[in-house]
Amino acid sequence: MRHAIAVVACLLLSVAGAAHAGSSKTPELSSRQCGLSTPYNVQVDGGGVWLYRREGMPREIFFHDGTLSVDHRVQPVSDADAWRLRLMEQDARTLMPEVAGIARESVSLTFDVLAGLVRAMTESERKARKVERHRDDALAHIDDSLGNGRWDQDVFGARFEADVGQVFEQVTGSIARSTLWAAVTGRAERMEARADKVGRDVERLADARASALEHRAGSLCVQVQALHELQHALEYRYHGAPLVMLERDANPDATTATAVRVDIANRDDAE
């Protein structure tokens, strides 16, 4: 009995890593990505790009078609800044659907792995469908927010991670009960063999999808870094200081940042 429980416990730990695909592969659903973070909620739609928050100054930033508004007041900007703002708006429109797509795949990967694990280890289609309903709910949240061009700090952050963690705890509890029952009824060897097979299947599923997701996230980071470089180049000053919408972390990826600066320079030359 102890051996069977130990095998399944190890499986659960491996699935936890596979479901989240490791911090280096699956992007977390928070504002801190690619060595950058934003303190703002963001809305990108046909009317422009709007950044807003409850605390801190400025509270609201809006730009559209080369114009800039800060806390509901239109600001004078140079022709060069107007071009940069247009480019930032264009990049933000391209970026938001990519963020939504990566978020969807990240969530789908996590819940697909969990549902597959439940289905294999408990042999209960009802329990697996329950996990899939959680996945559908999470995807609906993404579609209603990121799918509509809105990044909400209250939706994508600690609360979202806690919701996923709660589902994971429910899954592990269900599997642990099935494991104990199998051990008590003399089916420990069968459970152990099943756990070994499920572990291999989960690893193949997670590795293939997580590798593709990692590639997409890498491309996304180049776009995010490009936005930061454009912001850094703005001549406009807010109370004598640069206008900060994206903040760089203490240890950014120097290689990525250099590549982005070269790309921005090329775009400047093209204009």
What average pLDDT does range 140-167 have in this prediction?
Answer: 75
Tokens (6 digits) for 138: 């999470």
- Amino acid symbol at 246: L
Rounded average pLDDT over 6-28: 42
Beta strands in the chain (DSSP E): 36-37, 41-45, 48-52, 60-64, 67-70, 73-75, 150-151, 237-238, 241-242, 247-248
The DSSP secondary structure of 182-231, one letter per residue, reads HHHTT-HHHHHHHHHHHHHHHHHHHHHHHHHHHHHHHHHHHHHHHHHHHH
Amino acid at 189: E
Give me the pLDDT at residue 112, please.
83
- Between helices 188-233 and 254-270, what is the axis angle to 10°? 40
Residue 29 clears pLDDT 50, i.e. is over it: no
For residues 47 and 196, the model is more confident at 47
Q: What's the pLDDT score for residue 191? A: 61
Domain that holds residue 241: 2-270
pLDDT digits (tens, 9 = 90+) for 51-70: 999 999 999 999 999 999 99
Q: For the chain, state the CA radius of gyration.
A: 23
pLDDT score of 89 more than 80: yes
* pTM higher than 0.85: no
Q: State the distance between the two ends of the chain, measured CA to CA, in whole angstroms.
A: 71
Reduced to 3 states, what is the DSSP secondary structure of residue 87? helix
Share of the chain above pLDDT 70, in %: 62
pLDDT of the residue at 212: 81
Here the tokens at position 132 are 């899939």
How many structural domains comprise the chain?
A: 1
Buried b (16+ CB within 10 A) or exposed e, 189-201: eebbebbeebbee
